[in-house]
A and B are shown apart, each in its own frame.
Chain A
């Protein structure tokens, strides 16, 4: 079966980006369920997922239908450049040891302690519901933006949405299987990969939007991923402090 390179990169990008965000959301849902009861946590999660799906289903086709393709490519390309550079910058700083890494176990522990300190409601606990809803909705909004921008510009909105859905199901399944061992997920490596792909798509589409016809057409995307990957690796090595400069690295982050 012939699969276009840009579609394959798009699906991997959406899947990885959604997985990273869903790992962060799952930490919050697990904390809400453990501390406040599973019924409220799962109801909050379900409502957030429904709201996010509705956003993709309404905004995605509207953008594809009403916005001219060149305009869409410049705007989306620019957005992906900014968004991707933010992810890549953080991932490089973390890989270089200049920024604390996310510790999902510490975040989980902190949430549970805060929630258990609050008085409990009945079978339906509003605090657990709201925390699960906000956690999934806010983390999922980034996924919605990625799905709509990548999906609408490449004309594969349905595939992008399916890749995001697959990520939600995989993370939920794995998360429930391993319970609280979310810190084992290589979050920073995944964020680095997503950042590389978003910056590559951003470069490709903003270039096409201003009139550049890339050599090799869609093959320019994996070439850009490779170029930016080498650059990120070089920057990590350059920025990594020597042992003399920094006897103790940054602590883990729960922010």
Chain B
């Protein structure tokens, strides 16, 4: 009786597949079809942190953070409508 293809796969290939599946899960989870949201969120939080620690008034950073998040959402939606990639 010959072994099935699954049985002949070496352990290293199995581990590689699991690693790839793990990586794919996080990629789909965080990036998926909207890489602009991941990049944008990192830039928004980074920019607000720089501005806040640069001595800008607290009221400015408190308004800037949600305003930038809204801008990011709007830009992503406009991109989706223009490209048809939903």
Contact = CB atoms under 8 A, between A and B. Distances in A.
A88 interface: yes
Contacts of B53: 210-211
A85 B52 contact: no
A77 to B, nearest CB: 7
Given A74-B45, A89-B77, A98-B80, A82 B37 contact: yes
Interface in B13-65: 25, 29-30, 32, 34, 37-38, 41-42, 44-45, 48-49, 52-53, 58, 61-62, 65
Given A141-B25, A235-B73, A98 B38 contact: no
A235 B29 contact: no
A9 interface: no
B86 A85 contact: no
A53 interface: no
Residues of B in contact with A, size category: 20 to 34
Given A210-B52, A215-B62, A227-B66, A78 B77 contact: no
Q: Say whether chain A's binding surface is mostly helix, strand, loop, or mixed.
A: helix
Nearest to B84: A98
Contacts, number: 93
Nearest to B44: A81
A212 B61 contact: yes
A165 interface: no
Contact of B69 (A74, A90, A199, A210): A199
Q: Say whether chain B's binding surface is mostly helix, strand, loop, or mixed.
A: helix
Interface residues of A, number: 37
B43 to A, nearest CB: 11
Nearest to B74: A235
A206 B77 contact: no
Interface in A209-225: 209-215, 224
Contact of B76 (A74, A85, A206, A212): A85
Nearest to A85: B37
Contact of B81 (A86, A90, A98): A98
A239 interface: yes
A209 B41 CA distance: 14
Given A82-B30, A98-B81, A203 B66 contact: yes
Given A85-B34, A206-B48, A239-B77, 18 more contacts: A74-B45, A77-B45, A83-B29, A83-B30, A85-B72, A85-B73, A86-B32, A88-B73, A90-B86, A99-B86, A142-B29, A203-B65, A207-B62, A210-B52, A212-B52, A212-B58, A228-B66, A235-B77
13 contacts: A77-B45, A89-B73, A89-B76, A199-B73, A206-B45, A206-B48, A207-B48, A212-B48, A212-B58, A213-B58, A214-B62, A231-B70, A239-B81
